[in-house]
Structure 1
């Protein structure tokens, strides 16, 4: 029997900014954080080091009301860290090797639990240990799989990404990632997206395009475009895609029409970029969305 819980698998880490500020991050962590604020109570599966930053992540999750039962502690490898640089408003990332999230233990995720959706990215798949843990988790999964593609050089291999795309029903990536992964590119983004969706047997494909908004296509041929509304006082764009993904998952859970889901995802992502970093630690930030979307 499938329950109504979303499982979120992957990295938890700290984004280190040039001014010395450290902010909780990692795409799966960010998604789980937003889902918790939206009263979804996700199961977050990750691994941190036996160190001060790992303790901070665990404490932050507990303070936010998140369960830490599947947050593993690694005795040998450190909690993940990413050096963030900002150039012309766009973030760049220096992702260190051999971090605790690379070694999520295969035997610990609860493979007997049934989830409505399993969400994961592609960064945590760079190490065979974490990839095997995800294989265990998805082996008996009867619900949907949502892949949020994050191609961070040199930490990805096209064939591995293709294998996981073929297991998914929903996929989100950005325009550049679509171009990297599309063997046959058409004259229009719409046609390229349609071919990509058909090649991997997807139900829904979402492509984000930064300040130009996002597009989606589904298996029935419905094509949707959304754009940010108004002028935004952008603090930074770190985590905008994760905010977008969190609302896509809400739409999956609640059966929202794809057009409405995309509009709401764009609205929330636009609000998020006015804040510094990928996570917001003030529940009042979420309240207007919770009320408008009837998430209580």
Structure 2
């Protein structure tokens, strides 16, 4: 007690005692709060929740940007799909997933891991990957139907390092940036990535996180393979390089490497859209 103070109420008592003891107090206003002072205030709680969406929108209409995961999957359930989605779900608001002709339970894994988050899965009865540009255009078209604010385009075998989770909201709150680029590391086992004359993707920055601008006219690279995930004119938008690294785990297992080798041999035998030297040296 402080004898010469007559203020009543536990909140005033707490603040005064904290100040007297030398503690600084701060209020986090990033998310709106509803003060329940007495039992009668409970009546307005549900109305408040109705006016406050799950992304932190306040009654005045302000909100945190919505982050939409856009992903293409095909027979990924035996790989790292589950592990990747478990990390992603902590910072996304919704997901749009193209199931490109899976014959396993990849789509069911997505629904299970992302339970509680709005997920829309579009199933292709016949895979479009042999003409990748058609698949990427479909992915973009379906994603923008959800009226996204930011689009995070990841493959099922890609995973950001842990600190991305801590800064994701900070990145998409920057009004000066529309495109974030990251370096992708091709891991050759669980702990090491490959680097040599044929494997050096991590030396370059590529766009993975893009703000959706309504009215932006996409100009695509119409190559059937290695066409890029976003339109090639995306760099007309304000962009920034991030030092956060992205792990690519699609080459970790020898079985997966052989499957990729055979697939690209069939789709691009002359190496017109990729590197035949890289493929022939796939096993390191």
- Pick the TM interval, shorter chain: 0.3 to 0.5
Which structure has the greater CA radius of gyration? 2
Tell me the TM-score normalised to structure 2 length. 0.33
Between Structure 1 and Structure 2, the one with more helix by share is 1
